[in-house]
Protein backbone atom coordinates (compact mmCIF):
# COMPACT_ATOMS: atom_id res chain seq x y z
CA UNK A 1 0.00 0.00 0.00
CA UNK A 2 1.52 3.31 -0.99
CA UNK A 3 1.81 6.23 1.40
CA UNK A 4 -0.91 8.15 -0.45
CA UNK A 5 -3.30 5.17 -0.35
CA UNK A 6 -2.54 4.61 3.34
CA UNK A 7 -3.31 8.22 4.21
CA UNK A 8 -6.42 8.30 2.03
CA UNK A 9 -7.66 5.05 3.52
CA UNK A 10 -7.14 6.28 7.09
CA UNK A 11 -8.90 9.55 6.34
CA UNK A 12 -11.85 7.91 4.61
CA UNK A 13 -12.28 5.20 7.25
CA UNK A 14 -12.11 7.69 10.13
CA UNK A 15 -14.69 9.84 8.37
CA UNK A 16 -17.00 6.87 7.77
CA UNK A 17 -16.77 5.93 11.47
CA UNK A 18 -17.22 9.58 12.51
CA UNK A 19 -14.01 9.56 14.55
CA UNK A 20 -10.67 11.34 14.28
CA UNK A 21 -7.70 9.75 12.54
CA UNK A 22 -5.91 9.82 15.90
CA UNK A 23 -8.72 7.83 17.55
CA UNK A 24 -8.69 5.35 14.65
CA UNK A 25 -4.93 4.85 15.01
CA UNK A 26 -5.26 4.37 18.80
CA UNK A 27 -7.90 1.70 18.24
CA UNK A 28 -5.79 -0.08 15.62
CA UNK A 29 -2.77 -0.01 17.94
CA UNK A 30 -4.90 -1.43 20.78
CA UNK A 31 -6.12 -4.27 18.56
CA UNK A 32 -2.60 -5.11 17.41
CA UNK A 33 -1.31 -5.22 21.00
CA UNK A 34 -4.25 -7.41 22.04
CA UNK A 35 -3.61 -9.86 19.21
CA UNK A 36 0.13 -9.84 19.93
CA UNK A 37 -0.53 -10.69 23.59
CA UNK A 38 -2.71 -13.60 22.51
CA UNK A 39 0.02 -14.92 20.21
CA UNK A 40 3.23 -14.11 22.10
CA UNK A 41 1.98 -13.83 25.69
CA UNK A 42 0.56 -11.14 27.91
CA UNK A 43 3.51 -11.35 30.31
CA UNK A 44 5.46 -9.05 27.98
CA UNK A 45 5.07 -5.31 27.40
CA UNK A 46 4.49 -4.32 23.79
CA UNK A 47 4.49 -0.99 22.01
CA UNK A 48 3.02 -0.27 18.60
CA UNK A 49 3.87 2.72 16.50
CA UNK A 50 2.02 3.55 13.34
CA UNK A 51 3.94 6.12 11.36
CA UNK A 52 1.17 7.84 9.47
CA UNK A 53 3.63 9.98 7.51
CA UNK A 54 5.43 6.95 6.08
CA UNK A 55 2.61 4.40 6.20
CA UNK A 56 4.65 2.01 8.36
CA UNK A 57 3.86 -0.06 11.41
CA UNK A 58 6.38 -1.01 14.08
CA UNK A 59 5.88 -3.47 16.91
CA UNK A 60 8.31 -4.17 19.73
CA UNK A 61 8.61 -5.92 23.04
CA UNK A 62 9.85 -3.32 25.51
CA UNK A 63 12.23 -4.03 28.38
CA UNK A 64 13.12 -1.57 31.14
CA UNK A 65 16.77 -1.36 32.15
CA UNK A 66 17.14 -1.89 35.89
CA UNK A 67 19.89 -2.89 38.33
CA UNK A 68 18.33 -6.13 39.58
CA UNK A 69 15.88 -8.05 37.40
CA UNK A 70 12.72 -9.26 39.14
CA UNK A 71 10.67 -9.80 35.96
CA UNK A 72 12.77 -11.06 33.03
CA UNK A 73 9.80 -10.70 30.68
CA UNK A 74 9.70 -6.93 31.20
CA UNK A 75 13.14 -6.02 32.51
CA UNK A 76 16.76 -6.15 31.41
CA UNK A 77 19.71 -5.98 33.77
CA UNK A 78 21.96 -2.94 33.54
CA UNK A 79 24.97 -5.22 32.89
CA UNK A 80 23.26 -6.91 29.94
CA UNK A 81 21.99 -3.56 28.62
CA UNK A 82 25.46 -2.03 28.72
CA UNK A 83 26.82 -5.03 26.80
CA UNK A 84 24.29 -4.19 24.07
CA UNK A 85 24.77 -0.43 24.20
CA UNK A 86 27.21 1.27 26.57
CA UNK A 87 25.10 4.46 26.66
CA UNK A 88 22.10 2.75 28.30
CA UNK A 89 21.34 3.54 31.93
CA UNK A 90 18.80 2.52 34.58
CA UNK A 91 15.31 3.59 33.53
CA UNK A 92 15.99 3.42 29.79
CA UNK A 93 13.81 1.25 27.59
CA UNK A 94 15.14 -1.31 25.14
CA UNK A 95 12.95 -2.42 22.24
CA UNK A 96 13.09 -5.89 20.71
CA UNK A 97 11.42 -5.59 17.34
CA UNK A 98 8.96 -8.34 16.48
CA UNK A 99 6.85 -9.16 13.46
CA UNK A 100 3.47 -7.44 13.76
CA UNK A 101 0.31 -9.49 13.85
CA UNK A 102 -2.55 -7.81 12.03
CA UNK A 103 -5.76 -8.98 13.68
CA UNK A 104 -9.00 -9.24 11.76
CA UNK A 105 -10.49 -6.48 13.89
CA UNK A 106 -7.71 -4.08 12.90
CA UNK A 107 -7.74 -5.32 9.32
CA UNK A 108 -11.37 -4.25 8.95
CA UNK A 109 -10.37 -0.60 9.36
CA UNK A 110 -8.37 -0.84 6.15
CA UNK A 111 -10.96 -2.67 4.07
CA UNK A 112 -12.06 0.42 2.24
CA UNK A 113 -12.20 0.64 -1.54
CA UNK A 114 -10.62 -2.84 -1.71
CA UNK A 115 -7.41 -1.68 0.00
CA UNK A 116 -5.94 -4.01 2.62
CA UNK A 117 -2.84 -4.18 4.78
CA UNK A 118 -0.45 -6.79 3.43
CA UNK A 119 3.08 -7.78 4.36
CA UNK A 120 3.86 -4.98 6.76
CA UNK A 121 7.46 -4.95 7.87
CA UNK A 122 9.00 -3.52 11.01
CA UNK A 123 11.44 -0.66 10.63
CA UNK A 124 13.67 0.82 13.30
CA UNK A 125 11.72 2.04 16.31
* 28-80 tens-digit pLDDT: 888 889 888 888 889 999 999 887 777 678 888 899 999 999 999 999 999 99
Cβ–Cβ under 8 Å, residues 82 and 88: yes
- Report the pLDDT value the prediction gives residue 121, as an integer from 0 to 100: 40
Quick: pLDDT tens for 11-27.
Answer: 888 888 898 988 988 88
Residues 6+ apart with CB under 8 A from 66: 75, 76, 77, 78, 90, 91
Q: Which residues are bridge partners to 36 per DSSP?
A: none
Give the predicted TM-score (pTM) of the model: 0.67
- Give the per-residue pLDDT at 31: 87
> What is the pLDDT at residue 105?
53
pLDDT the model gives residue 91: 94
Amino acid sequence: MSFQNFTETLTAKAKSLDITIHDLLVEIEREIISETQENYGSQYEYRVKINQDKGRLQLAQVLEVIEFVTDPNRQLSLDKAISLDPTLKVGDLVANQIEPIIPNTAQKYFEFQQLKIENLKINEL
